[in-house]
Amino acid sequence: MITSILAQAVPGGSGIMGQVFLFGSIILIMYFFMFRPQQKKQKETKKFIEEIKKGDQVVTIGGLHGKVFSVDGDVVTMELDRGLKVKVEKSAISLDFSKKTDKK
């Protein structure tokens, strides 16, 4: 009686291959919908930060809007208003908000 219950639970071992296929397809779906877009966004952000130049309108992660006055290595001097300059790290400049300011 016990052997007949076990035989019904595992029919020929094909259940294991089905589970492996299901698990593999879940990983593939996660890659295309989660990891791949995130990697693409990181590449865009890195490219944007490397290409910052004098005169660009940018926004910091903290929400400061300004114009790039100068770029010295990893430090960007932003002009917020006439005569008011602020130094920020390049990594503190947001790609998302800078795209919105370019459209205006």
Same domain (yes/no): 28, 39:
yes
Same domain (yes/no): 59, 43:
no
Q: Is the pTM of this model over 0.85?
A: no
∠ CA 96-44-74, nearest 5°, is 85
Same domain (yes/no): 40, 65:
no
Record the tokens describing residue 101, joined without a space: 């300011």
Which range marks the domain in which residue 29 is found? 13-51
2 domain residue, yes or no: no
Same domain (yes/no): 59, 87:
yes
Using one digit for the tens of pLDDT, what is the confidence trace for 4-45?
444 455 555 568 888 999 999 999 998 888 888 999 989 998
Q: Quick check: 88 and 97 in contact, CB under 8 A?
A: no
User: Is the confidence at residue 68, as pLDDT, over 90?
Assistant: yes
Q: 81: part of which helix (H) or strand (E)?
A: strand 75-81
Mean pLDDT of 62-75: 92
Q: How many domains does the chain have?
A: 2
7 domain residue, yes or no: no
Residue 94's CATH number: 2.30.30.30
